[in-house]
Structure 1
C-alpha cells in the first residue's frame, strides 16, 4: 500500500484512570495492532503528561471522544462507530450504525452506561485490588 492510500490517523482520547476504559482500550489496541491500516493513535487524557488543555480535560474524561485528522471531534456513540470502522472484526458494526435509528439507539445505550459507570468503575477497582 502506498502512502497516499493509507487512511489518516484517528486519535482515540480515553480515560486511562478508568479501569473499564483501560481494559477496553487494551483490547482495541490489540485489534488495531493486527492491521497496519487501522490508523489509530491512543491518548490517555488522564495522564499527567497529556498535551490536552486542562480546560478540555473534564469534558474529555466524562465521555468517550475521538479526534479526526482535521481536528474535529466526535463523542459518545458516534466516536465508538468511527473507531469500530477501523478495527478488524468490528467494521460490520460501524456499517450497521449507518442504518436509520441505530446510532441514536447506540447513543441512548451509551448514556445509560454513563449513568452506571461510576458504580462499575468502583467494582472494577475493587476487583483489581483483590486480583
Structure 2
C-alpha cells in the first residue's frame, strides 16, 4: 500500500518529465501516481480543478499547489528535508508564491517542451 496519491497531467510534457523524475526517486514505491489524461482515473474533485493545479492526497487530506509538492517530497527520502521544511508557514508561503508564478508561465513552458520533444 502506498502512503500518498498524486494526480498529474499526463498530457503536459513538463508534468510528464517531473513525474518521471519523481518515479525514479520513489524507489520504495510510496507514491501512487495517477495520470489525469487516462479516462479511467478516478477524481476526488472536478477533473478541471485537478488539471489546473497539482494535487496530492496525504493521510486522507487533499492538498494542492506547493503543499501537494511538499507531500510528494516528504515521501521521497532524498527530498524529505525540503518537504519537512515546507511545513514551516514561512517556507510554505514562499513555495506557494513561487508555484503561483510557475503556473503563469506553465503554458509557455509546455509549448517549449512540446517543441523540444518534436525535434529529431
| TM-score (ref. length: structure 2) | 0.91
Alignment of 1:1-131 (within 5 A): 9-33=3-27, 36=28, 39-52=30-43, 56-70=46-60, 72-131=61-120
In structure 2, the gaps of 5 or more residues are none
- Whether the 8 Å contact between 1:11 and 1:41 is mirrored in structure 2 is yes
Number of residue pairs aligned between Structure 1 and Structure 2 = 120
Q: Give the SS at the match of 2:6.
A: strand
Flag structure 1 segments of 5+ consecutive residues without an equivalent.
1-5
CA–CA separation in structure 2 for the residues paired with 1:99 and 1:67:
19
**2-side partners of 1:97 and 1:43: how far apart?**
23
Point out the structure with max Rg over C-alpha.
1
Task: Give the equivalent residue in structure 2 for 1:3.
Answer: none
Three-state SS of the structure 2 residue aligned to 1:49 is coil
Work out the CA distance in 2 between the residues paired with 1:65 and 1:100. 19
2:54–2:65 CA contact under 8 A, matched in 1: yes
Q: 2:53, 2:65 within 8 Å by CA — same for their partners in 1?
A: yes
What TM-score does the superposition give when structure 1 sets the normalisation length? 0.84
Whole-angstrom CA distance in 2 between matches of 1:98 and 1:69: 15
Regions of 4+ moved over 6 Å: none
Post-superposition offset of 1:92: 1.1
